[in-house]
Each structure stands twice: as structure tokens, then as C-alpha cells.
Amino acid sequence: MKRIVRNLPIREYHSGEAISHSGIVRLLRSPEHYLQYKTGSVEPTPAMEFGSAFHHFILEPEVFSREFVLAPKFDKRTKEGKSAAEKWDEENEGKHPLAAEQIDTLAAMKASVFNHAGAARMLSEGEAETSLFWTDECTGLPCRIRPDWMGKFGIADLKTACDAGREGFGKAIANLGYDVQAAFYIDGMKAVTGKPVDFYFIVVEKSAPFATACYVASKEMVEVGRAKYRGALELLKWCQGNNSFPGYQPGGEIETIDLPRWAADFETAD
């Protein structure tokens, strides 16, 4: 199964059984966390909703206009204000409200992205949110990816961060599994299209001056991410075959725990 689907509603994309990068990251934590992700319900946090708004604002402005709306301020202490707020809620049911300050932040972040020559060049030509599906040859598992942006240069993923610098964002890559994403997306594109591509990060800070930085995933990063996701797919195959999705300690073990290296690495004062 190899296919490219454009304009696929995001809910339909997420409703399928094919494994995604998000599922792999949870598998790498534990199969129990993956099962909860697949079968449970997850309420989006304010940070998640703002991140979604940012993606649409930059890459799919028509979707942003349809799904998000500026929320006026109402004085709900008064009868008139409460009535106006209720009427506004009814008229905008299903849309995500954003405060004026959030809209201003989105505009500043967008300006930063397109003032970055490399980011602007990548986003000048391509397509957003295209879904790709394939079957992993080694495990037979259905897989899926949905790149933020695809173009002749490769794949670009738009990220928000507290620190877009090399060191700061490097920590985010390690902590949030972005190395796994880079490898999985590169291999997914190769599986579906037959073409090798590079994976780029367009990173924008969430506070003034909303600095933007662009990076291409190194070969070393991709190799590490590939080893992680390959192990996760083999683990999922085992879990499905044995109908078992264990947590951290499958046998109820009691383990010894120690300080992490960074916390134990210090010199004793004289």
C-alpha cells in the first residue's frame, strides 16, 4: 500500500490504524503509553491549540480563517455582556477562539519566518499537510506521515520553541523525539515516492523577538532516529502478536534507581 492523499481532513488522518511518528514516540516510552494514545481521548492543551493555530496561520491561511476566530472581550458581569457572549458562542460554535494578543503574536511569528531568507525560500514553493501512507517491508505494519511542507528541497517541519538556538533546540530534538520524526519522514517519503529527501526544521521562538532559525537534520541524527523507530516498529509487531502492551516493568520488577549522570557529575567543595 503506497499512496499520497491531498486535502485529507486531519481527523480522518488520525482515525486510521497506520502508525505515525506520534505513536512511535509513545511506544518508545512504553507500549502501555502507546495503547492509551490509540484508545484513549486526549484533550488538547492551550499550547497544543496555539501550535495548531500557528501551523495553519503560516501554511494554510484558508484553514485558519475557517477554524479560528478572534474572540472579542465581553463584560460578563452585566446582563448585556453575558447575553452578547452567549450569542457570540452560538454563532462561532466549532471554531477555536483566539485573543487579540494571540493574533498579534501569530502575526509577529509569521513575519519572522518570512524575514528569514532560508525559510522564505523553502516556503515559496510546495504543498502543506499532504498525507502519505505505506506498508513497512520488514514488519508489515501500515505507516503514515503528514509533512508540514513538501517541496523540491525535501521536507520542512514547522516548530515553535522557547529557544531556537542550536544548543537549545538540540535539546528539544532529543527530548521530544524529533530525530525519530526526521528519520521516519525521510524513509516514508522514500518508500512512497522512491526519492531521497532531506528533512528541515523551521524553528520559531514563542516570545519576542520571535527569532527564527532553520536546520537540516544531519546524517548522524537520522541514523540514530532510524534505529529508534525501527526498534519501535518491531516492538509494536510483538505487542500486537501477543496482545500485550506492557508498561515500564512488565514483570512487576523492583529496580534500583540512581541520579542521572548530569546530576551526579559535580565536584565536592573543599
Q: Determine, yes or no, domain membership for 55.
A: no
pLDDT in the model for residue 268: 52
Q: Determine, yes or no, domain membership for 205.
A: yes
Q: Determine, yes or no, domain membership for 130.
A: yes
Spatial distance between the Cα atoms of 195 and 187, rounded to a whole number of angstroms: 9
Q: Is 195:239 a contact under the CB 8 Å cutoff?
A: no
Grid cell in block for residue 25? 514516540
Q: Which domain holds residue 252?
A: 3-43+110-264
pLDDT in the model for residue 229: 97
Contacts of 110 (CB under 8 A, 6+ apart): 57, 58
Spatial distance between the Cα atoms of 59 and 57, rounded to a whole number of angstroms: 6
Instruction: Note the pLDDT tens digit of each residue in 62-95.
Output: 999 888 988 888 777 888 778 877 787 787 887 8
**Chain Cα centroid distance, residue 88:** 31
Q: Determine, yes or no, domain membership for 81.
A: no
Instruction: Note the pLDDT tens digit of each residue in 18-66.
Output: 999 999 999 999 999 999 998 877 777 878 888 889 999 999 999 998 8
Report residue 151: phi and psi, to 5°: -150, -175
Q: Determine, yes or no, domain membership for 66.
A: no
What's the structural domain count of the chain?
1
For 37-67, b/e burial (b = at least 16 CB within 10 A) is beeeeeeeeeeeebbbbbbbbbbeeebbeee
Q: Determine, yes or no, domain membership for 8.
A: yes
CATH number at residue 141: 3.90.320.10
Q: Is 163:154 a contact under the CB 8 Å cutoff?
A: no
In tens digits, the chain (270 residues) has pLDDT values of 789 999 888 888 888 889 999 999 999 999 999 999 988 777 778 788 888 899 999 999 999 988 898 888 877 788 877 887 778 778 788 788 888 999 999 999 999 999 999 999 999 999 999 999 999 999 999 999 999 999 988 999 999 999 999 999 999 999 999 999 999 999 999 999 999 999 999 999 999 999 999 999 999 999 999 999 999 999 999 999 999 999 999 888 999 999 988 887 765 555
Spatial distance between the Cα atoms of 200 and 119, rounded to a whole number of angstroms: 10
Q: Determine, yes or no, domain membership for 270.
A: no
Q: Determine, yes or no, domain membership for 214.
A: yes
